[in-house]
Homo-oligomer: A and B are copies of this chain.
Amino acid sequence: MTRVTADVSFLRGYNQALVMAVGRTARTFERATVVEATGLTPQAVSKVIARLTADGLIRPAGVRRPGIGKPAVVYELVPDSRYAIGAHVARRTLRLVLVDLTGAVHHSAVSPLPRDFTPEQLLDALSAGIDTMTGTGDLRGRLTGLGIGMIGPLDHANGLVRDAHGLRHWHDVPLREIAEKHLGLPVHLDKDVTAGITAEAWRHGATFGDAALIMVESGIGGGFWLGGAAHRGAHTNAGEFGHTVVDLTGPRCVCGRHGCLEIVHHRAAEAGDVAHAARVLAVGVVNLLQTLDLAHVVLAGADLLRHPQIYLAAVTEAVGADARRADWLRTRVALSSLGADVIAAGAAMQVLDQHYGIPELGQSVIAGS
Residues of A within 8 A of B (CB): 3-8, 10-11, 14-15, 18, 37-40, 153, 155, 162-163, 206-210, 222, 224, 226-229, 231-241, 243-250, 255-257, 259, 264, 280, 283, 286-288, 290-295, 322-324, 326-331, 358, 361-364, 366-369
What's the nearest-Cβ distance from chain B to residue A331, in Å? 7
What's the nearest-Cβ distance from chain B to residue A215, in Å? 14
What's the nearest-Cβ distance from chain B to residue A135, in Å? 38
- Complex interface: chain B residues within 8 A of A7 (CB): 11, 40
Q: Which one of B162, B207, B244, B368 lies within 8 Å of A364 (CB-CB)?
A: B207
Asked if residues A291 and B293 are in contact (CB atoms below 8 Å), the reply is: no
- Complex interface: chain B residues within 8 A of A292 (CB): 224, 231, 233, 238
Q: Which residue of B lies closest to A366 (CB)?
A: B209
Q: Which residue of B lies closest to A364 (CB)?
A: B206
Asked if residues B208 and A364 are in contact (CB atoms below 8 Å), the reply is: yes
Asked if residues A38 and B290 are in contact (CB atoms below 8 Å), the reply is: no
Q: Which one of B4, B11, B231, B290 lies within 8 Å of A8 (CB-CB)?
A: B11
- Complex Cα–Cα for A328 and B224 (A): 21
- Complex interface: chain B residues within 8 A of A237 (CB): 293, 329
- Complex Cα–Cα for A102 and B243 (A): 40
Q: Given A226-B227, A327-B369, A331-B234, does the pair A245, B246 have CB atoms closer than 8 Å?
A: yes
Asked if residues A246 and B243 are in contact (CB atoms below 8 Å), the reply is: no
